[in-house]
Structure 1
Amino acid sequence: MSRATILVTGADLAPQAVALLADYDLVYAGKTPTEADIVALCSQHDPVAIIVRYSRVDAPAMDAAPSLKVISKHGSGTDTIDKAAAAARGIAVVAAVGANAAAVAEQALALMLACAKSVPQLDARMHAGHWDKATHKSLELGGRTVGLIGVGAIGLRFARMAAAMDMRVLAYDPFAKTWPQGVERAELDDIWRESDVISLHCPLTADNRHLLNTETLARCKPGVLIVNTARGGLIDESALLDALDSGQVRAAGLDSFAVEPMTAGHPFQQHERIILSPHIGGVTSDAYVNMGVSAARNALAILEA
């Protein structure tokens, strides 16, 4: 009797996760699968579960896999899954919430510090033989205000790090079930008006797409720092470029983008006050295991219910 198949939309899965799925045949889609690749693999293998690492999973893939019961995200963000289509077909969508929280929060901290202290720029200048001590002035973060959009597992960890640096922490999160101690509850107007740093830690939805745009960036404090380790669609990229050019935004540290992977010639690549990383905030050896194990367990909870 043939075994049921689980499709992984990536090239690998942590060995600990593979061990949990030993009763199933695993099919890997490769490092950079397209939506068409996912549909073809679903049609070929009819998986009972999909573990989503890369690419989208939309209605055509679901329709190509009539045995599909669960789509399990290898991470916390499910915006690459058509949840409405899944619900209409009785397919569960689950996520490894919190599995990479420490990793992403640390990346946000690193990007904030790099922006405030001009770490990449000074490093490049030093390697080029310059000594800018007499002319460079960094930004001191102690005593300044950081505004968070979202205080879930990642935002909460970042809030604790910022508070440990003697920063005032404001946060906006209308969906928070509990409110963390030491974090001031704020509305979006408060975040724009009072924050020296704005850090995004929320999922992307139809309601908050381009949350940071020409209007909201203009309402921010002049010289604000922008950090995004959430989803690229939260920021209107052209508006951010204009705000950087005008000086309204001092610097931006970005780990996610409207279109991924970023293609050659993107204007962000030429801007000296944008610090870039390729959506790797949650990619550490520890988080890789945590996300894989959580995604596997979440899938099994549905398959074996």
Structure 2
Amino acid sequence: MPDIVVTEFMDQDALDRLREIHDLHYDPTLADKPEELAALLADARILIVRNRTQVRGPLIAVGRKLVMVGRLGVGLDNIDVAACEAKGIAVRPASGANDIAVAEYVICGVMMLLRGAYLATGDVMDGTWPRNRLMGRETSGKTLGLIGFGAIARETARRARALGMAVLAHDPFLPADHPAFAAHETRPVKLEELLAHSDAISLHVPLTPDTRNLIDAAALARMKPGAVLINAARGGVVDEAALADALKSGHLAGAMLDVFETEPLPAGTVLAGVPNLVLTPHIAGVTQESNVRVSGVIADAVLQLLKEQA
């Protein structure tokens, strides 16, 4: 039986480093094979996952020898951290390793949605040539609002300022005089002010009881007419039905979602057929470069922990 079980995709070089020293079972489809995964965990000491593997009560219970769960990413809402800690299982995310990838995704989305022309392929192919309708807006001089101001939001702010944007941020866990705001030329504000004055809003918060449906119908109504919304944080932070209504009504000019309440998106989703909406499959933090970094960080953590326990 393997020492290490990897349930979702991981960089090959990192896998090879682990295999040199420890028995490893790698199957990037294991997240969809709960019975097989449970059997493999009977003697495993390390479980490495991304965001689809649900590390909760039943899975934790069968992993009697588990000493660590490595998360190939940063969000931990698919892992019952408290239950792991109660059993002495360390939980290690790859903090910081995909910050650049997500920040670039957000900035790309802001520029694309404000300009508006990039969703016109079908019209151009049909010969309608809608130049007047597609006279979009420049990013320079606009205001970006960041809800949450952790490491990824700060990388996003740095890039937005380089494009000539003003940046607002709301983070209830940071005092207004926190040095990160000044360091990134960002003004801390209350959520209501951010919603009212931002041309583009990007979410950078975890999914908690306090943030679930944080962007609901009332919050969307407070946003500037013609504003755009990016969510590369967590599904459930945005009320998808309310967002669909705001886009259909034209109150918002566009939205880009990388995360969803249910993943993969189910048939009959309220987002089907909604205009000016870009959807991607929870990929904002995954680039060739970030996959190498994330995998390397977790491989290092695994090797260090197992070395200490040898």
Give me the TM-score of the superposition, normalised by structure 2. Answer: 0.90
Matched with 1:51 is 48
Q: How far off is 1:39 after superposition?
A: 4.8
Preserved contact between residue 92 and residue 302 of structure 1 (Cα < 8 Å): no
261-270 or 232-241, which deviates more: 261-270
Matches within 5 A, 1:231-242: 231-242=234-245
In structure 2, relative to structure 1, the CA distance for the partners of 1:131 and 1:173 (3 Å cut) is: same
Preserved contact between residue 5 and residue 46 of structure 2 (Cα < 8 Å): yes
Matched with 1:226 is 229
Letter in 1 for 2:105: Q
In structure 2, relative to structure 1, the CA distance for the partners of 1:231 and 1:49 (3 Å cut) is: same
- What CA deviation, in whole Å up to 9, does each residue of 1:228-286 have, x standing for no partner? 11111111111111222222222101111111111333232311211111111122111
Distance in 2 between the 1:90 and 1:283 partners? 30
In structure 2, relative to structure 1, the CA distance for the partners of 1:238 and 1:164 (3 Å cut) is: same
- What CA deviation, in whole Å up to 9, does each residue of 1:105-140 have, x standing for no partner? 111111112211224422222223231113332122
Distance in 1 between the 2:276 and 2:225 partners? 15
- What CA deviation, in whole Å up to 9, does each residue of 1:29-82 have, x standing for no partner? 433623724652444x42111111232111111110111011110011111111
Matched with 1:14 is 11
In structure 2, relative to structure 1, the CA distance for the partners of 1:95 and 1:116 (3 Å cut) is: same
The answer to whether the aligner puts 1:90 opposite 2:88 as a matched pair is: yes
Matched with 1:183 is 186
The answer to whether the aligner puts 1:33 opposite 2:34 as a matched pair is: no
Distance in 2 between the 1:162 and 1:189 partners? 21
Matched with 1:291 is 294
In structure 2, relative to structure 1, the CA distance for the partners of 1:37 and 1:187 (3 Å cut) is: farther
Unaligned runs of 5+ in 1: none
In structure 2, relative to structure 1, the CA distance for the partners of 1:30 and 1:128 (3 Å cut) is: same
Distance in 1 between the 2:91 and 2:63 partners? 15
- What CA deviation, in whole Å up to 9, does each residue of 1:116-172 have, x standing for no partner? 122442222222323111333212222121110122221111111111111110111
Runs of 4+ in 1 over 6 A off after TM superposition: none
Query: Per chain length, whose mean CA-contact separation is higher, i.e. which structure has more relative contact order (CA < 8 Å, sep 6+)?
Result: 1
Matched with 2:150 is 152
Preserved contact between residue 29 and residue 37 of structure 1 (Cα < 8 Å): no
2:258 to 238, 255, 258: 255
In structure 2, relative to structure 1, the CA distance for the partners of 1:98 and 1:119 (3 Å cut) is: farther
Matched with 2:199 is 196
CA RMSD of aligned residues (A): 2.0
Secondary structure of the residue that 1:72 maps to in structure 2?
strand
1:208 to 208, 211, 214: 211
Q: How far off is 1:87 after superposition?
A: 1.7
Secondary structure of the residue that 2:96 maps to in structure 1?
coil
In structure 2, relative to structure 1, the CA distance for the partners of 1:60 and 1:236 (3 Å cut) is: same
Secondary structure of the residue that 2:149 maps to in structure 1?
coil
Distance in 1 between the 2:93 and 2:300 partners? 10
Give me the TM-score of the superposition, normalised by structure 1. Answer: 0.91
Distance in 2 between the 1:38 and 1:104 partners? 32
Distance in 1 between the 2:290 and 2:106 partners? 15
Equivalent pairs: percent with the same residue? 37
Distance in 2 between the 1:32 and 1:116 partners? 39
Distance in 1 between the 2:281 and 2:65 partners? 34
- What CA deviation, in whole Å up to 9, does each residue of 1:189-237 have, x standing for no partner? 2211211111012222222111101121122222221001111111111
Secondary structure of the residue that 1:234 maps to in structure 2?
coil
Matched with 2:105 is 107
